[in-house]
Amino acid sequence: MATRQLTVDRERSTERIGRDVETLSGPRYTSSDEAIRRYAYTPEYRNTLDYFIRELESLGFERYEDPVGTLVARNRPRGEPVFGVGSHCDSNRNGGRYDGTLGVVAALEICRLNEELGLGLPLQLVSFLEEEGSGFGQMLLGSRIMAGRVTEEELREGFRAVDDGRSFWEHAEEAGYDPGRWQESARVLDDLYGWIELHIEQARVLQDTQKRIGVVDAIAGYVHSDVTVHGRSDHAGATPMGLRLDAGLVAAECMLKLERLAKAAGEGTVGTVGELALTPNLINAVPGTARFSLDVRGPNEEAFRRVTRNLAAFAEEAARRRGMTAEYRERQALSPVALSGGIVGALQAAAEGSGEPFVRMHSGAAHDTMSIAGRVPSAMVFVPCRDGISHSPEEEADPADAALGAEIMLNAINTLSAGTR
């Protein structure tokens, strides 16, 4: 199935990708002066979708949004097979310019090149809703809805906005969507015969090994959960040390225990307490409750599940020893995902054809691709980001690497599509 390597003007692609990223970093596209911050159903997010829609419509793509707001644009009528490209354009609350957005920009560039080079490839671009969980504390929400990995009860009641506590359902309706039809989101995948997502690596492997491209063949799984410790709030000056039920101390013990458990588990297992909320959160009050999040991940499901179970048991025991109680509650979990050998092989051949240094690797971060890989043969392409920094306004990536990534993806799609036309 070898096809001729396509000749792409990388400089022109680099310039266009750089311009897209620059535009989408402007004040219309973020609600913070200090970081990129945009998430579902906010004006900044809407402006970002509209930017992509304008660009795609100028290429003759038809677009629609699924019942909850994932953007889909295609150059063939629904019902005809298409190859999928895209990522997400919402950001971490303390986000940079590249996480997610670069993947949608690279997908747009593929659509432009397809047009310019007259390739006639059938394409569908997808920009998933709420990958980061910035709006509702639920990572990969749009793609999990699409994969049927949520319940209606969660969408109606369980998932609540970080900003105002109102339900996902209410927010989606207010934004003009039709969450009652959420199950129809699955139809977005009906015609896809393959899927590739480009993303910044969010680690330092590519930089440290001087590679420009990572061909991703697996994605680590994760558990997200919360532990709440119930103690008693007291006066911080008047209450002797021996008479306290300080919930914050149990949280502190658990944070250190998580580090020990994750290190002992090995096999790429990592554990993080990223959210810590003490009540009443006052300098002169003993914390009466402590809630902290757990983010435990790795390529070995048995290992990261064991760490999570052991930490939950430790929290109960540590609270009990101090005369308190602790409860553990899972938010969501996804198993590690092996990506499609066929798509990975085509990407590897295209990367070899480019003559640029690349490596095969797994992803430690989660991506929407892991939600849909069970239904559509999928793979990912990573490009380096400076010093591996991500989920930070300091995030930096080179548009020239994204242009190379787009070229490699285009070549892989061209090869994979040869058999279908």
Cα separation, 116 vs 85, in Å, equals 17
Residue closer to ligand GLV by CB (options 229, 366) is: 366
Place of tokens 């129809």: 184
- Residue 322 CB, shortest distance to ligand GLV, in Å, is 32
Nearer to ligand GLV, 105 or 366 (CB): 366
Q: CA–CA distance from 14 to each of 105, 110, 123, 237, 399 (Å)?
A: 11, 12, 21, 60, 5
CA dist 167 and 152 (Å) reads 12
Binds 366: which of ligand GLV, Mn ion, none (CB < 5-8 Å by kind): ligand GLV
Q: What is the DSSP letter of 7?
A: P
Specify burial of residue 238 (Cβ count, 10 A radius: 0-12, 13-18, 19+): exposed
**What is the bridge-based pairing of β-strands 213-219 and 358-363?**
parallel
Shortest CB 99 distance to ligand GLV, Å: 7
| H or E element, residue 412 | helix 399-418
By rule CB under 5 A, what count of residues binds Mn ion?
2
The smaller minimum CB distance to ligand GLV, of residues 139 and 344, is found at: 139
Nearer to ligand GLV among residue 145 and residue 366 (C-beta): 366
**Which lies closer to ligand GLV via its Cβ, residue 245 or residue 366?**
366
CB of 391 to Mn ion, least distance (A): 6
Nearer to Mn ion, 99 or 295 (CB): 99
Residue 98: CB minimum distance to Mn ion, A: 9
Min separation Cβ 132 and ligand GLV, Å: 5
| Contact footprint for ligand GLV (CB under 6 A) | 132, 139, 365-366
Total Cβ atoms within 10 A of residue 18: 16
Dist CA 372 CA 84 (whole Å): 11
Least separation in angstroms between CB 368 and ligand GLV: 9
For residues 339 and 410, which CB has a smaller minimum distance to ligand GLV in the complex? 339
Min dist. Cβ of residue 149 to ligand GLV (A): 16
Residue in 15, 12, 111, 114 with CA at minimum distance from that of residue 54? 111
> Is 97 strand, coil or helix?
coil
Neighbour-count burial of 58, counting CB atoms closer than 10 A to its CB (0-12 exposed, 13-18 middle, 19+ buried): exposed
> What is the SS3 assignment for 373?
coil
Residue 253: which of ligand GLV, Mn ion, none does it interact with, CB under 5 to 8 A by kind? none
Q: Which stretch binds Mn ion (CB under 5 A): 46-54, 97-105, 350-358, 410-418?
A: 97-105
Residue 100 interacts with Mn ion (CB under 5 A)? yes
Question: Could you say whether residue 288 binds Mn ion (CB under 5 A)?
Answer: no
Return the one option of Mn ion, ligand GLV, none that residue 129 interacts with (CB less than 5 to 8 A, by type).
none
99 part of the interface to Mn ion, by CB under 5 A: yes
Residue numbers at the binding site for Mn ion (CB under 5 A): 99-100
